Amino acid sequence: MQLNRICSALAIATALSLSACSSSPDLSTPYTVSSDQESAEGSIIHVDKTNRMITIRGAQGDEYDVYAADEVRNFDQLQVGDRIALTYTSAIAVDIQPAGSGELAATLEDDGNTAEAGAKPGGSASETATVVTEVTAVDTSANTISLKGPRGNEVTLDVAREDLRAALRKVKVGDLLRVTYSEAVAVNITPRP
pLDDT tens by residue, 123-134 = 777 888 888 899
Taking residue 184's Cβ as centre, other Cβ atoms within 10 Å add up to 17
Q: Is residue 30 part of a domain?
A: yes
Residues of the chain where predicted confidence (pLDDT) is lower than 50 = 1-27
Residue 57 belongs to a domain: no
Q: Is residue 10 part of a domain?
A: yes
Please give the pLDDT value at position 174: 92
pLDDT at 69: 73
Gap between the Cα atoms of 57 and 124, Å rounded: 21
Q: What is the DSSP letter of 22?
A: S
Residue 175: inside a domain: yes
pTM: 0.62
d(CA 123, CA 176): 36
Whole-number pLDDT of residue 179: 82
Residue 5 per-residue DSSP state: H
Residue 127 lies in a domain: yes
The boundaries of the domain holding residue 110 are 3-38+86-190
Does residue 97 form part of some domain? yes
Helix (H) or strand (E) holding 71: none
8 Å CB contact between 184 and 113: no
Number of domains in the chain: 1
Structure confidence at residue 95 (pLDDT): 80
In a domain, 171, yes or no: yes
pLDDT computed for residue 34 by the predictor: 66
Note whether residue 186 is domain-resident: yes
